[in-house]
Amino acid sequence: MGGCVGSQHDSSGSLNDNSDGTGVALGRNQLLKRERPKWKSDYPMTEGQLRSKRDEFWDTAPAFEGRKEIWDALRAAAGAFESRDHQLAQAILDGASITLPHGLLSECYDELGNRYQLPVYCLAPPINMIEEHSDEPDASDRDSAGADASVEGDDDGGGERQLRLRLSTGRDLRLRVRSSDTVGAMKRRLHAQEGVDAAAQRWFFSGRPLTDRLRLEQINISRDYVVQVIISQPLADVPPPRTPSRETQHQPSPVDA
């Protein structure tokens, strides 16, 4: 599959230098490097094929080993990294306590010492990427077209459908949208539904950032695919009830007085 997790040994079979027995190299956490890896696919790959390959990895990786919340954080960080938003990627890694001994997402560890490896195709497109021909859609395009036609009566007139969203807060939800909606409009709809400020939302699909003017029909999202939404500020919660101070708790009542 291109990635493995749980192994606590390096390629030579021994623990990393200066480790504490968990496989994590102590004191070797580095900032995420800015250089994107360059690689060539075994065969010329379209964007749709790359997207399907990535989705297969991200959907199956948590089923083997490791923690799902770490995989979700790595997916969001990889998307931000590919879009060259290194500040956001680093913030996601720091928030999830993910360690990069070499400053690369290809090898990282969580705070429990579990090892995670991301395949190169999840971090950058191949140098031999080819364009898709609109008159010869690939399988993913045909599946997407079929899904759009079968969900909620979606049609060329902008019929409604359910869009699956995965928030960086760990919550999954469905948002009712139209194929003619822009990303900006969907952000405002999410704001109305969940109270998340539109300016605090950053949408990603298959590692690609979605701009506000992009329309849903242009993104080509199949029915079972998920859009990642990074929230840059915490959701507004009702403040907890105020706890009485010690003086208030022990103050005698008028009856006792």
Given this model, what pLDDT does residue 242 score? 57
Q: What is the pLDDT of residue 231?
A: 87
DSSP string, 21-72: SSS-BTT---PPP-PPP----SS-EEHHHHHHHHHHHHHHGGGTSS-HHHHH
Phi, psi of 102 (to 5 degrees): -115, 10
Q: Identify the helix (H) or strand (E) that includes residue 162.
A: strand 160-167
Q: What's the pLDDT at 20?
A: 46
Contact 130, 46 (CB under 8 A): yes
The two tokens of residue 137 are 């859609």
**Nearest Cα residue to 98 out of 37, 6, 107:** 107
Per-residue pLDDT of the chain (257 residues), as tens digits, is 444 444 443 433 333 444 444 444 445 899 999 998 999 988 888 888 888 888 888 888 887 788 999 999 999 999 999 888 999 999 999 999 999 999 999 999 999 999 999 999 999 999 988 876 543 344 334 343 343 333 333 444 457 888 989 888 888 899 999 888 999 999 999 999 988 899 899 898 876 788 888 888 888 787 778 888 888 755 444 445 455 555 444 555 444 54
pLDDT attached to residue 214? 87
DSSP 108: E
pLDDT at 65: 82
Contacts of 128 (CB under 8 A, 6+ apart): 40, 41, 44, 45
Closest-CA residue to 232 (of 206, 187, 198): 198
**Per-residue pLDDT at 183:** 92
State the Cα–Cα distance between residues 212 and 164, nearest whole angstrom: 18
* Residue indicated by tokens 């991200």: 58
